[in-house]
Structure 1
Amino acid sequence: MITIFIIECIVFCAVFTIFNLTYLFKKPLDWFYDYPDEVQARMRTLPQYKGKIPLKENNYRKKKIPAVIIFLIISSIIVWFSGARDFVMGTLYAFALFMVINFYDALILDTIYFCHSKKVRYPGTEDMVKAYENPKKHWIGFLKGTGFAVGISLLVGGIVEIGSHLVF
């Protein structure tokens, strides 16, 4: 089960990276609220972004809710096929999987790549190196993601438990 878990983590992280970087490069303004507050403040003053910055509510609905639904479905299937057949195992397995992805996102994608890559900087904010390199917002996101992981994992555990009664 450990080998399978490690393979799943690698695959999940790879898919997560491809999905997020593709989306980031195709629609960078959809990620506006993931950027440092100082960068957001600067962008609000720049004429090239006037009327283009998404509303936070629309951004949440467009980006977060579909990701939650997709992750819930995929996680439930993966956890089931990994051998979890009850609420506790389903919850713990999903939580462990989610936390690996959460940590990978905070450390590799956010702290190492995002904070230091010039490719993800908005035009007109390139001089804000200190703001971009500050990982604080990303690690706060990690903590929020941990709370989110608890909720999603409980739902996955419930789905696994219900599934075990329907199948067996």
Structure 2
Amino acid sequence: MVQMLLAEGMLLCSLFWAFCWLGTGSDEKNIRNFSTYSDEVQKIVKARPELSGNIRQRGPAAIFAGNLLLFTALLFAMGLLTRQEYFAGNFLNTLLLGQALNLFDFLVIDLLWWRHTKRVRFSGTEESPELYADPRKHFYAFLRGVLLFLAVALINGYLLTWI
């Protein structure tokens, strides 16, 4: 069971890393994650007409709902491989996978990679790494992720027990 959870966790983290890598690298790709950038970077981007017209922001409730649906489905599929007879086992397995992914996102992707790579920088700001160093938005996203994956674990704990 533990080996399966570790394998699932490694697969999820690898997939998440790949999506992050593929979703960055140009202004057109980076603008999709506009809300994750510091206020200073957002100000610069909004002041540039060639970029500001491409900003598409969703509200926090819409983002949370979309992530809830996505990760409920994804972790449900993974949970089928480690399904337990009782709610507690299903809840804990899903919670562990979700929080491991959340922690990986915060520590590896946000703090180690995102803040230091030129891949996420908008053109014209490549030589200003300090604009990308503020971890506050990433920390708040991590806290929202804790709540998100708790909700996903509750939902999947019941779903996996009932099927």
- Per the normalisation by structure 2, the TM-score is 0.87
Percent of residue pairs identical? 24
User: RMSD between aligned alpha carbons?
Assistant: 2.1
**What is aligned with 1:116?**
116
Tell me the SS of whatever aligns to 2:126. Answer: coil
**What is aligned with 1:50?**
52
**What is aligned with 2:89?**
89
Unaligned segments of structure 1, at least 5 residues: 164-168
Tell me the SS of whatever aligns to 1:24. Answer: coil
Q: Which has the higher helix share?
A: 1
- Which AA in structure 2 matches 1:88? A
Write the distance in 1 (CA, Å) between the matches of 2:160 and 2:33: 33
Between 1:68-77 and 1:32-41, the stretch displaced more is 68-77
**What is aligned with 1:71?**
71
Between 1:45-54 and 1:22-31, the stretch displaced more is 22-31
Write the distance in 1 (CA, Å) between the matches of 2:61 and 2:143: 18
Q: Residues 136 and 50 of structure 1: is their aligned pair in 2 closer, same or farther, counting only changes over 3 Å?
A: closer
Shift of 1:17: 1.1
**What is aligned with 1:166?**
none
Q: For this pair of structures, how many residues does the alignment match?
A: 161
Tell me the SS of whatever aligns to 2:80. Answer: helix
- Which AA in structure 1 matches 2:46? R
Residue 131 (str. 1) matches residue 101 (str. 2) = no
For the Cα contact (< 8 Å) 1:43–1:125, is it kept in 2? no
Residues 7-41 of structure 1: CA distance to partner in whole angstroms, max 9, x if unpaired?
A: 11111100111122212347221111111121111
Tell me the SS of whatever aligns to 1:124. Answer: coil
